[in-house]
Chains A and B, each alone.
Chain A
């Protein structure tokens, strides 16, 4: 083999990369979970932030309660709770799955779009992320201040119209730097779904370690994938932040 001439470390990395199809499957799953969780978290988080900020005494407290409970308990506990809830309520779980097969060069790959575990994973990650995103968004809404909303109302706009057309366009611009925290954290959080058997990137890494027993090379490759992904996300958000900046501010 021509590899024999290379140092052991390089040989290890190449041996792991030999399983690129497995790694790719895991990567796609991770992105899939990430995108869904980020979107669910954003829209639910925005809703929670508005309720907490403008909801009045009772609704505001309910929103606050949700946010504090979710932020105050471990994500893993939340995932396991959601996962085992149907069993403890004696709701029968049917096995079902939507999946797609595809082929790149000589490798046959399967990507499961949705099954009960993935559904639980997406929901748990999204519900969790919503609590954090709600607080980032609330901070941005608060920083816009009440003066402009008062001015909007003085023109005859309802509070709702004022929030939608005056406060949110500014809050959503201002939130980007803080919100990029959540966008950078979430890919790493997705590895928790490994515990309920979703074959994402970290799960694939474990599988490779058991199979080939080259943990250093395996985890280095996984770490590099996360690093590249998250750096890209940060850079993109930074560009969006600059492009959407309000002139003069």
Chain B
């Protein structure tokens, strides 16, 4: 693997009295896919927003290709163009057609000409299998389609890394698959990604490393095999079991009810 694209060093963040991140550190190599998971309120989304400085950390350092983003006087707008972000609730621009949602970043940030931006945007829409919906407005599309446009919007900027903030958790179950499919393909073609998700199937397929975040710290880290076969901490075990009940087979559910009975 190549050089680290992203280096997070001892990042702390609090909102008033509430400490959300309490010293998080990790590195992300080129073409790596890292999955972050953990209970709600553990700081997963905050961590992503700290990485692209939408919510700068109180303490610590974030390096993007060895450039310290915490350095005073740095132009964060330019740096953010190199960090894509995909949102839980899509956050598409409601007044723009799909194609313009994708091309506006090129036009307004990179100053690309109208024609070139359009052809690049079409290519990106093609990558997420949304080219035939290019002229639709977000409100005319399903959640899964909207999220794929959200992915194309990030993709078209050719960022060094794309951050996914629970990209499928606002979707109806039958729409999750089409979004995960697109993300799997991106991962396989070497896109550097950090994905906050509870889709363990996706994690198992493409994650090079998984981080379990709890109470603002990384409680456990390892490969998907490590987590699925022999997680160490009890927090992780409990959490994975709950996920299994929610998303997994009926096996988990049956096992749990049997345990209850045995008690």
Asked whether A and B interact, the reply is: yes
Measured CB to CB, the nearest residue on chain A to B85 is: A154
| Contact segment of A97-105, A155-163, A199-207 | A155-163
* Known contacts A153-B80, A161-B108, A147 near B139 by CB under 8 Å: no
Chain B residues with Cβ below 8 Å from A153 are: 54, 77, 80
Task: Please tell me if A72 contacts chain B, counting CB pairs below 8 Å.
Answer: no
Q: Considering the chains assembled together, what is the distance between the CA atoms of A56 and B22 in angstroms?
A: 28
B140 touching A156, Cβ below 8 Å: no
A155 touching B94, Cβ below 8 Å: no
Render B162-176 as a binary contact track against A, CB cut-off 8 A, 1 for contact.
000000000000000
CB < 8 Å: which of B91, B136, B157 contacts A151?
A: B91
* Known contacts A165-B104, A165-B108, A248-B140, A154 near B93 by CB under 8 Å: no
Render B99-110 as a binary contact track against A, CB cut-off 8 A, 1 for contact.
000001100111
What is the size, in residues, of chain B's interface with A at 8 Å between Cβ atoms? 32
B91 touching A155, Cβ below 8 Å: no
B102–chain A nearest beta-carbon distance, Å? 10
CB < 8 Å: which of A147, A156, A157, A246 contacts B91?
A: A147
B94 touching A246, Cβ below 8 Å: yes
* Known contacts A153-B54, A158-B77, A161-B108, A247 near B140 by CB under 8 Å: yes
Q: Considering the chains assembled together, what is the distance between the CA atoms of A216 and B81 in angstroms?
A: 68
Task: Please tell me if A150 contacts chain B, counting CB pairs below 8 Å.
Answer: yes
A151 touching B52, Cβ below 8 Å: no
B93 touching A152, Cβ below 8 Å: yes
Task: Please tell me if A148 contacts chain B, counting CB pairs below 8 Å.
Answer: yes
Task: Please tell me if B202 contacts chain A, counting CB pairs below 8 Å.
Answer: no
B139 touching A156, Cβ below 8 Å: no
Q: Considering the chains assembled together, what is the distance between the CA atoms of A165 and B108 in angstroms?
A: 9
Measured CB to CB, the nearest residue on chain B to A154 is: B85
B95 touching A246, Cβ below 8 Å: yes
A147 touching B87, Cβ below 8 Å: yes
Chain B residues with Cβ below 8 Å from A169 are: 95
Chain B residues with Cβ below 8 Å from A154 are: 52, 54, 80, 83-85, 154
Render B55-92 as a binary contact track against A, CB cut-off 8 A, 1 for contact.
00000000000000000000001111111110101011
Task: Please tell me if A57 contacts chain B, counting CB pairs below 8 Å.
Answer: no
Chain A residues with Cβ below 8 Å from B95 are: 166, 169-170, 173, 246
Task: Please tell me if B138 contacts chain A, counting CB pairs below 8 Å.
Answer: yes
B94 touching A148, Cβ below 8 Å: yes
A155 touching B138, Cβ below 8 Å: no
CB < 8 Å: which of B52, B78, B137 contacts A248?
A: B137
Chain B residues with Cβ below 8 Å from A157 are: 77, 105, 108-109
A156 touching B94, Cβ below 8 Å: no
A248 touching B157, Cβ below 8 Å: no
Which A residues, 113 to 166, have Cβ-Cβ distances below 8 Å to chain B?
147-148, 150-158, 161, 165-166
Render B206-240 as a binary contact track against A, CB cut-off 8 A, 1 for contact.
00000000000000000000000000000000000
B244–chain A nearest beta-carbon distance, Å? 32
Q: Of residues B87, B91, B105, B136, which shows the largest number of chain A Cβ atoms within 10 Å of its Cβ?
A: B91
Chain A residues with Cβ below 8 Å from B104 are: 155, 165
Q: Considering the chains assembled together, what is the distance between the CA atoms of A147 and B165 in angstroms?
A: 13
Task: Please tell me if B153 contacts chain A, counting CB pairs below 8 Å.
Answer: yes
A117–chain B nearest beta-carbon distance, Å? 43
A174–chain B nearest beta-carbon distance, Å? 10
B139 touching A248, Cβ below 8 Å: yes
20 A-B contact pairs sorted by A residue (CB < 8 Å): A147-B89, A151-B92, A151-B93, A152-B93, A153-B54, A154-B84, A155-B80, A155-B104, A155-B154, A155-B157, A156-B77, A156-B79, A156-B81, A165-B108, A166-B95, A170-B95, A173-B95, A246-B95, A246-B137, A248-B136
15 additional contacts, CB 8 Å, given A156-B157, A173-B95? A147-B87, A148-B91, A150-B87, A151-B85, A152-B93, A153-B54, A153-B77, A154-B83, A154-B154, A156-B79, A156-B110, A170-B94, A247-B140, A248-B140, A249-B94
